[in-house]
Amino acid sequence: MKLLFNLLAFTALIFTTAANADISENSLAPQKEANFAQNYLDRFMQRDFDYVMSLIDTEVAGTISPEKLEEMHGYLPSGKLLSTELIGSQVKVINDNWEGSFTFEYHFEDGWALASAYMIRTEGKISIAGFSVYNTPDSQKELNRFSLSNKPLGHYLVLTMAIIFPVFILVTLVTCIRTPVQKRKWLWILFILFSVGAIKLNWTTGAYHIKLFSFQLFGGGAVSASEHAPLILTAGFPLGAIIFWFKRRSLIGQKKKTQKSQTELKESDNSV
């Protein structure tokens, strides 16, 4: 029983850490490039379109015009800019080719907006290969805040599975450890630990993805890339744990039969 409680506590710690994982883009993002992207987008906010156009990569320059920039600027909320925050970054380096994407959240007096800049570095010079701007009904923290209210049935079903399956697997794991298995108990333990297949649910948007060929440790989990990102729930089918319960009685019987045979053989040797 003590082992069971320890395993439950350990799993709860894992899920709590995963669910609250805050990959701080402000600390992990390359600051020089992030500052460059922010300055570029700030100049766009200030309608410095000459500067914006001067840094556009030549391959996409033909698709951008002052009229298009003016149209994009119209997507921004009105009012004074209150704050700017880096909420997303992605950097990829292949050989000598550097690519980076940075997303900022802007809080205006009359609303919120997101702006992203996609940059490339060629021969030490950074250019803008694309950028986007659009307004949002609220901050990303608020939009992606975890809430149980007003969710469709599918949300609650996946959430229930993501909670119950790990507990079921843990209980089965402890039972397996304490069950007399004739040989290769470690194979049963591995079989129980991993679920088969998985369903992933974006708690904010409701988008889901089913993977038939997937193995999930403990059969479930919840993770959010940051406080600005949606919570992603994962639930996998605990096939190994279910099969163990169907096989448990026969496994115990095999062990007892082997022990009985060994006892009878030992008694036969002693009688001789």
Q: What is the pLDDT of residue 266?
A: 55
Closest CA to 128 of 90, 101, 106: 101
User: Any residues with CB less than 8 A from the CB of 256 and at least 6 apart, and which?
Assistant: 180
Say what the alpha-carbon torsion angle 259, 260, 261, 266 is, to the nearest 10 degrees.
Answer: 90
Give bridge partners of residue 126 from the DSSP assignment. Answer: 121
pLDDT, tens digit (0-9, with 9 covering 90-100), for 81-110: 999 999 998 888 887 788 899 999 999 999
18 pLDDT band, cuts 50/70/90, is very low
Closest CA to 206 of 148, 140, 151: 151
* Domain extent listing, the chain: 25-140, 144-254
Which tokens is 24 given?
Answer: 């701080």
Q: What is the pLDDT of residue 156?
A: 94
The DSSP letter of residue 190 is H
Q: What is the pLDDT of residue 258?
A: 58
**Looking at the predicted structure, is the pLDDT value of residue 268 above 70?**
no
CATH number for domain 25-140, candidates 1.10.1060.10, 3.10.450.590, 3.30.230.30, 3.30.2020.10: 3.10.450.590
Average pLDDT, the chain: 83
Kindly state the average pLDDT of the residues 31-57: 91
Which tokens is 49 given?
Answer: 């379109």
pLDDT, tens digit (0-9, with 9 covering 90-100), for 150-184: 899 999 999 999 999 999 999 999 999 988 877 78
DSSP string, 214-270: EEEETTEEEE-SSTTSPPEEEEEE-HHHHHHHHHHHHHHHHHHHHHHHHHHHHHHHH
